[in-house]
Chain A
Amino acid sequence: KAGVTQTPRYLIKTRGQQVTLSCSPISGHRSVSWYQQTPGQGLQFLFEYFSETQRNKGNFPGRFSGRQFSNSRSEMNVSTLELGDSALYLCASSPPDPSSYNEQFFGPGTRLTVL
């Protein structure tokens, strides 16, 4: 099976702009989670989607939003970018097996730089 894919791999934006990141989960996986990784804060959970519904959300401002499509692909959007949004954004998918609760497989990430 192909792994989790994320596009684009690198992005450079300026303050005030908005950005959309895309994630395609492993085939058959319906749960997609997003994380932000920075040197200062480490890995922080943004939100999780399952069957096009947001089931869980982390402590991020409303500028961070996401959605999931019927084919389980997910996008996250950050509006009005700030310098502090520079980070590696990671997406992960989970298999449907209940015994694999929250077992997540990550994509390569999108490196976002805000200038």
Chain B
Amino acid sequence: SQQGEEDPQALSIQEGENATMNCSYKTSINNLQWYRQNSGRGLVHLILIRSNEREKHSGRLRVTLDTSKKSSSLLITASRAADTASYFCATALTDSWGKLQFGAGTQVVVTP
């Protein structure tokens, strides 16, 4: 079974708009990470947020983490066509070396 679930499954926006996607998970985590994948290619690491952090920024990305609700959100501001990709959240559990549990992903399409 998958630890994380993303919402929505798909998102279609225009360039310049913001894109927000959410991730919920089931058990306590050490950290949560977000990845991007372009059409069947490898995963690109976007950001890692630790369980004791509430918000993190990286460029146009903003990630929040609410451990009481077991949820996280990823906000991409001022979207570009190049942001078109699938976005995955992945959770790292304590004492589970090398294992990330991924959600099903959110497919984002940004139209020019």
CB distance from B74 to the nearest CB of A (A): 16
| A90 and B43 contacting across the interface, CB-CB below 8 Å | yes
> A48, B97: Cβ atoms under 8 Å?
yes
Q: Is there contact, CB below 8 Å, between B100 and A56?
A: no
**Bound CA span A43–B86, Å:** 12
Interface bin, chain A? 20 to 34
Which residues of the other chain, A, contact B98 by a CB distance below 8 angstroms?
31-33, 45, 47-50, 55-56, 94, 102, 104
Number of residues on chain B facing chain A (CB within 8 A): 25
Cβ of A70 within 8 Å of any chain B Cβ, yes or no, is: no
Cβ-Cβ contact count across A and B, 8 Å cutoff = 74
Measured in the bound complex, the distance between the Cα atoms of B45 and A94 in whole Å is: 11
Contacts of B107 in A (CB 8 A): none
B30 engages A102 (CB within 8 Å) = yes
Please encode chain A, from 6 to 38, with 1 for each CB lying within 8 Å of some chain B CB and 0 for all others. 000000000000000000000000011101000
B99 on the interface (CB 8 Å rule)? yes
Check if A101 sits within 8 Å of B92, measured CB to CB. yes
A43:B48 contact, CB within 8 angstroms: no
- Residues of chain A within 8 A (CB-CB) of B44 are 106
Measured in the bound complex, the distance between the Cα atoms of B99 and A50 in whole Å is 12
Partner of A111, one of B30, B31, B40: B40
In contact, B97 and A100 (Cβ under 8 angstroms)? no
Contact mask B1-39 → A, CB, 8 Å, 1/0? 010000000000000000000000000001101010000
- Nearest first, the 8 closest Cβ-Cβ pairs linking A and B are A48-B98, A102-B92, A43-B102, A106-B43, A33-B98, A108-B42, A55-B97, A106-B42
Q: Could you tell me which B residues sit within 8 Å of A by CB distance? A: 2, 30-31, 33, 35, 40-45, 48, 88, 90, 92, 96-105
A43-B88, A56-B99 provided; 4 other pairs, C-beta below 8 A? A90-B42, A101-B31, A103-B45, A105-B45
